[in-house]
Amino acid sequence: MDRVEICRVFQMFDRNRDGNITMEEFSNSLDNFGIFISDEEVNQIFESIDVNGDGFVDVDEFGMFYQTIANEHNEEEDMMEAFNVFDQNRDGFITFEELRSVLSSLGLKRGKAIEDCWKMITKVDADGDGRVNFIEFKQMMKCGGFAALD
The answer, yes or no, to whether residue 130 has pLDDT greater than 50, is yes
Q: What is the pLDDT of residues 66-100, one digit of tens each?
A: 888 877 767 778 888 888 998 999 999 999 889 88
pLDDT of residue 108: 65
Percent of the chain past pLDDT 70, that is, above it, reads: 89
Which is higher by pLDDT, 106 or 5? 5
Averaged pLDDT of the chain: 85
The answer, yes or no, to whether residue 140 has pLDDT greater than 60, is yes
Q: What is the pLDDT of residues 2-60, one digit of tens each?
A: 888 899 899 999 999 999 999 999 999 988 888 888 999 999 999 999 999 999 999 99
**Exposed / middle / buried, residue 128 (Cβ in 10 Å: 0-12, 13-18, 19+):** exposed
Give the list of residues 6+ apart from residue 1 with CB closer than 8 angstroms, or none: 63, 66, 67, 70
pLDDT of residue 141: 80
How far apart, in whole angstroms, are the C-alpha atoms of residue 133 and residue 150? 20
pLDDT of residue 148: 46
